[in-house]
Amino acid sequence: MDGGSSELSDLWEFDQYACKTMALVTNIQGYSIHDGPGIRTVVFLKGCGLRCKWCANPECISGARQTGFIASLCAGCGKCAGACGHGAIRSDPGHRVDYELCAACGACVKACSYGALVGYGTEMSAGEVFEAVRRDKIFYEGGGGVTASGGEPLLFPEFVAELFELCREDGFSTCLETSGFAETGSLMLALPVTDHLLFDIKLLDGDLHIAHTGQPNDLVLENARRAVASGADVLFRMPLIPGVNDDARSVEAAAGFLRGLQGEPRLQLMPFHRLGDSKYRALGLTYEFGGVDAISKDAAEEVRRRFTDAGVECSVSS
């Protein structure tokens, strides 16, 4: 493979699902209007090489199955403890799951009658996912279709390619959401069957990118150049994070990079929100941005104006 395989070797706990036409799926969400053109079904895959501090989908970061606990739904009936064969259910107040012992086997999830325990990660083949998404085909008329998201779907390039080939054969469009932090060979494998590419650009400053995502941005920027040079339909997106990349310097750097690409790259701003807060609690994790206020419409509009003034076609996601 080309494109930094040594750099990616320790990203996350690669397991039996990686680089095959099987993957762990956390959710298949229908009737989405924010993940590509038209009405789309979004397939969320599990596993990501970045550790963005503001991530709204923490259940998609790890490449392994996980069990979450929603305290507000727990009735304290004790059925989960009886079902668990690993002694991983705590009886004391607080988070029910002891992750040092939990095997994420799903026994407690099945035993819970109240939905307080949830499983993140179901092993599915590309064919099985296709059978699930094609049920929404009636909504795809007028340009809608299927979007692969995550996590980072390019950690599963063969899976994505097979799923997208099946989608195209059935006549609906394909869209890929990526952070760009994946082997370049994986990107190039998926592009021929990808109709629309949503490509995240977070920070141009390399040190800040490492500080906020855990990884450098060299590979991301190189893959952005490759994607545009391929002639793909690319929409760049920037998660707009207060105090991270909403300042004039960050905007100027991002605008300069985009202007340096072929053609006239488009950018969509994705204002920060805290909708993932409950997922962090369910996984027993601390959300570093849990106390950060969502960006106001006026603040997002000001950043959009700066990009426009800098010569970049820019919009704000609603």
User: For the segment 258-309, what is each residue's pLDDT rounded down to a tens digit?
Assistant: 999 999 999 999 999 998 999 999 999 999 999 999 999 999 999 999 999 9
Give the distance from CA 109 to its chain's centroid.
Answer: 24
pLDDT at res. 3: 39
How far CA 169 is from CA of 163, 166, 172, 187, in Å, comes to 10, 5, 8, 21
Homologous superfamily (CATH) for 5-63+121-316: Aldolase class I (3.20.20.70)
pLDDT at residue 19 tops 60: no
The pLDDT assigned to 318 comes to 83
Give me the mean pLDDT over the 92-115 stretch.
94
Equal CATH topology for 5-63+121-316 and 66-120: no
Summarize the confidence of residues 70-75 as an average pLDDT. Answer: 95
Residues in the chain: 318
Looking at the predicted structure, is the pLDDT value of residue 95 above 80? yes
Tell me: the pLDDT tens digits for 140-184? 988 899 999 999 999 999 999 999 999 999 999 999 999 999 999
DSSP code per residue over the chain: --S-HHHHTTSS---TTTTSSEEEEEEEEEEESSSSSSSEEEEEES--S---TT-S-GGGTSSS-EEEE-GGG-----HHHHH-SSS-B--SSS--B-TTT----SHHHHH-SSS-EEEE-EEEEHHHHHHHHGGGGGG-TTT-EEEEESS-GGGSHHHHHHHHHHHHHTT-EEEEEE-S-S-HHHHHHHGGG-SEEEEE---SSHHHHHHHHSS-SHHHHHHHHHHHHTT--EEEEEEE-TTTT-SHHHHHHHHHHHHTSSS--EEEEEE---TTHHHHHHTT---TTTTSPPPPHHHHHHHHHHHHHTT-EEEE--
Confidence of residue 20 (pLDDT cuts 50, 70, 90): low
CA 31-36-39 angle, to 5 degrees, is 25
**263 preceded by a cis bond (ω within 30 of 0):** no
283 φψ region: left (φ > 0), alpha (ψ -120 to 50), beta (else) = alpha
For residue 142, what pLDDT is reported? 85
CATH number of 66-120, picked from 3.30.70.20, 2.60.120.380, 3.40.50.2300, 1.10.10.10: 3.30.70.20
Cα 278 from Cα 59, distance rounded (Å): 11
Identify the bridge partners of residue 200 per DSSP, sorted by sequence position: 237
pLDDT of 11 higher than 50: no
pLDDT of residue 151: 95
pTM tops 0.85, yes or no: yes
State pLDDT tens for residues 187-244.
999 999 999 999 999 999 999 999 999 999 999 999 999 999 999 999 999 999 999 9
pLDDT over threshold 80, residue 7: no
pLDDT digits (tens, 9 = 90+) for 57-68: 999 999 999 999
Q: Round to whole Å and give the CA distance between 150 and 170.
A: 23
Domain boundaries in the chain?
5-63+121-316, 66-120
pLDDT at 52 over 80: yes
User: How far is 255 from 225, CA to CA, in rounded Å?
Assistant: 14
